Chains A and B, each alone.
Chain A
């Protein structure tokens, strides 16, 4: 089966006061049909930029966008703005991080949901739209759905608003759903509710999901595949359980070691020495080499390719065979 989305050599550059910032440095990634792909990485690794490319909501200061994002045979990067707009809110939908700012304060919840429906299914009757909107609210666990349709965003708590955003995304029935840290802005017990909701909903959802998070535990729980980003590149991809059980890239391994293990007490806490790569530096070596305990001269003189590392797995490390 061909993947839903094939990203090839995706490169983003922006001009800054300090020079050209390399935001994405030649990303290759396939998003399988019906798969949930977790994208993890530290701040500045490019994970949100990757999602922004998929729905093509890119900042204005970009100086270079190159490569391909082929979605079911269509290169999204080659579409003009009008053609791209037809994809948004139809085949591609997005759940944003901050439910406080993603809803328009001047419109009711019902208007938000009906707008989404009318865009997806032009000509849907008002009555039908209201009924489907109420059903969507009920499906994300909002009680009193008919009452909530006439509420304004400020009358809802943060957790309720995030439920509304999820309901909007599901009404679209997209082929690709982008979720950018959808639980980060929520309190722990509310986050647990939303995670439980997402686990329930994934059974009834046929599309693919790109789930961006800095929380490895959450990704391990929710996702099928894992994509680890570092400094604008992908360093490792593969089925989530296998990557986490046996990471092949030293960065993935280091990141796992930094997760404060919940049964170790006392002792030193692990960190990765050095700093994250500066986006304005040109890469002529492995992006992780300056912080990698296993780096050798070869790592500092060429950029390692993201190559096969077992069934469904790829890693960008010259030495993963010998380090395994």
Chain B
């Protein structure tokens, strides 16, 4: 595959739970080979559902998801194990994702049996990965309660890398990590991308992490993408009022960089009965009459920027 071509494509993806909760609604998004796509939004916006759809854990209600030009549904039906190897997930709670009754070594060896990998060669690869991640070899004999949280996260990374994935879906990889060590983990993820040619979908509620690490960012609200752009453009000049408000909520330490937060009214409405028209209009400080009845489409506003708003850039903010 040529570099820069989309590796992952979501096309009009919708996921409806129990025939009423629209967890994802008409999501179209492409992640190019080798790219890092950041996903931001508040709870209930659909970030985790989008991750689960990509790794094939949550079935679609409509639309398609393709990886490498082939539908995920087809790949799962025809060669499920091969697809599982291609897309690996880093789980948010690294400690809880390890079985407390198995040694780390036994957990890491499970894929050998499941995927029928050559044992000796895979164990050699595992040893090399552990060295790369600065994990001592004796970690394999330990149980999850005997290792630190930072080590547990690196074990999660090792488990994912063992299968030579192309795509890593990282759902809040730094949540709960102390600020003094989160830089280490992010540097590691960036290095691994280069060394192993990985493509990332990275979810974080930490806007600074998104800004520093990702190339593109998609902002979600109530199951929809409301804005997607190159990360730098998005942070410098948010086009959607929700993006502008979300970015403004991040108080900087340096008083010279601080700007007034745009405080939205109310909270995220229920996905069972989302507002008519634009889903954000009930909280939007610049909503107009049309927004309450006419749902905006996600349209390309300028090269590389898509926005779902009738009045983009109407809530701009001055930066620096």
Query: Assuming A188-B249, A192-B261, A271-B181, is B208 touching A260 (CB within 8 A)?
Result: yes
Q: Are A272 and B181 in contact (CB under 8 A)?
A: yes
B257-A157 in contact (CB<8A) = no
Q: Which of A171-179, A262-270, A308-316 contacts B (4 or more CB under 8 A)?
A: A262-270
Smallest CB gap from A269: residue in B: B183
Residues of chain A contacted by B187 (CB below 8 angstroms) = 268-269, 271
Q: Identify the stretch in B26-34, B91-99, B263-271 within 8 Å (CB) of chain A at 4 or more residues.
A: B263-271
With A255-B180, A258-B180, A272-B181 in contact, do A192 and B267 touch (Cβ < 8 Å)? no
Query: Which has the most chain A C-beta neighbours within 10 Å: B178, B186, B245?
Result: B178
Tell me the smallest distance from the CB of A45 to a CB of chain B, in Å.
Answer: 9
Q: Does B182 contact A (CB under 8 A)?
A: yes
In the complex, which residues of chain B have a beta carbon less than 8 angstroms from the beta carbon of A188?
Answer: 42, 205, 207, 246, 249-250
Quick check: is B311 within 8 A (CB to CB) of the other chain?
no
B252 in the interface (beta carbon within 8 A) = yes
- Partner pick for B179 among A159, A160, A214, A263, CB 8 A cutoff: A214
Contacts of B263 in A (CB 8 A): 189, 192-193, 196
Chain A residues contacting B268 (CB-CB under 8 Å) are 187, 189
Would A258 and B182 count as touching, CB distance under 8 A? yes
Contact of A216 among B148, B180, B253, B262 (CB under 8 A): B253
Would A271 and B184 count as touching, CB distance under 8 A?
A: yes
A220 within 8 A of B: yes
Q: Is the beta-carbon distance between B186 and A269 smaller than 8 angstroms?
A: yes
Whether B253 pairs with A187 at a CB distance below 8 angstroms is no
Q: Which of B43, B178, B183, B257 contacts A262 (CB 8 A)?
A: B257
For chain A, residues 265 to 290, give those with C-beta under 8 angstroms from any C-beta of chain B: 265, 268-273, 275-276
B276 → chain A closest CB, angstroms: 21
| Contact assessment for B253 and A220 in the assembled complex, using a CB-CB cutoff below 8 Å | yes
For residue B186, which residue of chain A has the nearest CB? A269
A189 touches B264 (CB 8 A): yes
Contact between chains at B320 and A218 (CB < 8 Å): no
| Residue in B closest to A259 when the chains form the complex, CB atoms | B253
Q: Among residues 110 to 158 in chain A, which have CB atoms less than 8 Å away from a CB atom of chain B?
A: 157-158
- Interface size class of chain B, counting residues whose CB lies under 8 Å from the partner chain: 35 or more
Give the nearest-CB partner of A188 in chain B: B249
Asked if B246 and A189 make an inter-chain contact with CB atoms under 8 angstroms apart, the answer reads yes
Q: Is A221 interfacial (CB-CB < 8 Å)? A: yes
Residue in B43, B179, B249, B262 whose CB lies within 8 Å of A42: B179
Contacts of B213 in A (CB 8 A): 269
A218 to chain B: which residues have CB within 8 Å? Answer: 251
Count class of interface residues, chain A: 35 or more
Answer yes or no: B232 CB below 8 A from chain A CBs: yes
Residues of B274-318 whose CB lies within 8 A of A: 283
Residue of A nearest to B44 (CB): A187
Interface residues of B in 141-190 (CB under 8 A from A): 148, 150, 178-184, 186-187
Contact call A272/B180, Cβ cutoff below 8 A: yes
Q: Which residues of B contact A158 (CB under 8 A)?
A: 267
In the complex, the answer to whether A241 meets B255 with C-beta atoms within 8 Å is: yes
> Which A residue sits closest to B208, measured CB to CB?
A260
Chain A window 176-205, contacts with chain B (Cβ cutoff 8 Å), 1 for yes, 0 for no: 000000000001111111011000000000
- Shortest CB distance A216–B (Å): 5
Tell me, yes or no, whether B70 is within 8 Å of chain A by CB: no
B253's partner among A189, A217, A268 (CB-CB below 8 A) is A217
Question: Is there an interface contact between A220 and B255, defined as CB atoms closer than 8 Å?
Answer: yes
Q: A103 interface residue, CB < 8 Å from B?
A: no
A70 within 8 A of B: no
Q: How many angstroms from the CA of A190 to the CA of B269 in the assembled complex?
A: 12
B248 within 8 A of A: yes
Fill in one digit per residue for B5-41: 1 if any A CB lies within 8 Å of its CB, else 0: 0000000000000000000000000000000000000
How distant is the Cα of A37 from the Cα of B169 in the complex, in angstroms? 39
Min distance, Cβ B167 to any Cβ of chain A, angstroms: 22
Is the Cβ of A262 less than 8 Å from the Cβ of B179?
A: no
- Known contacts A217-B253, A220-B251, A262-B252, A271 near B182 by CB under 8 Å: yes
CB distance from B212 to the nearest CB of A (A): 5
Structural contact, A42 and B212, CB atoms closer than 8 A = no
Q: Is B123 an interface residue (CB 8 A)?
A: no
Would you call B127 an interface residue if the criterion is a C-beta within 8 Å of the partner chain's C-beta atoms? no
Complex interface residues of chain A between 32 and 83 (CB less than 8 A to chain B): 42-43
A259 to B206, CA, bound (A): 11
Which A residues touch B211, using CB under 8 A?
Answer: 260, 262, 265
Please measure, in the bound complex, the distance between the C-alpha atom of A195 and the C-alpha atom of B248, giving whole angstroms: 12
Instruction: Contact check, B183 vs A217: say whether CB atoms are below 8 A apart.
Output: no
Q: Does A244 sit within 8 A of B, measured CB to CB?
A: yes
Do B261 and A275 touch (CB < 8 A)? no
Q: Given A254-B180, A269-B212, are A262 and B249 neighbors across the interface (CB < 8 Å)? A: no
B50 nearest CB across to chain A (Å): 17
Name A273's closest neighbour in chain B (CB-CB): B184
A14 at the B interface (CB under 8 A): no
Contacts of A244 on B, CB cut-off 8 Å? 253-254
Question: What are the 8 tightest A-B residue pairs by CB atom distance, in nearest-first order?
Answer: A271-B183, A269-B183, A260-B208, A217-B251, A187-B42, A272-B180, A192-B249, A42-B178
Give the B-binding residues of A (Cβ under 8 A).
42-43, 157-160, 187-193, 195-196, 214-218, 220-221, 241, 244, 254-256, 258-265, 268-273, 275-276
Would you give 9 A-B contacts (Cβ < 8 Å), ordered by A?
Answer: A187-B268, A188-B42, A188-B207, A189-B245, A214-B178, A214-B179, A217-B252, A260-B206, A265-B212
B residues engaging A (CB < 8 A)?
Answer: 42-43, 148, 150, 178-184, 186-187, 205-209, 211-213, 232, 235, 245-246, 248-255, 257-258, 261-264, 267-268, 283, 320
Taking A220-B251, A273-B184 as given, write out 17 further A-B residue pairs in contact, using a Cβ cutoff of 8 Å, ordered by the A residue number.
Answer: A188-B246, A189-B263, A189-B264, A191-B249, A214-B178, A220-B252, A220-B253, A220-B255, A220-B258, A221-B251, A221-B258, A241-B255, A260-B212, A268-B183, A269-B183, A269-B186, A276-B178
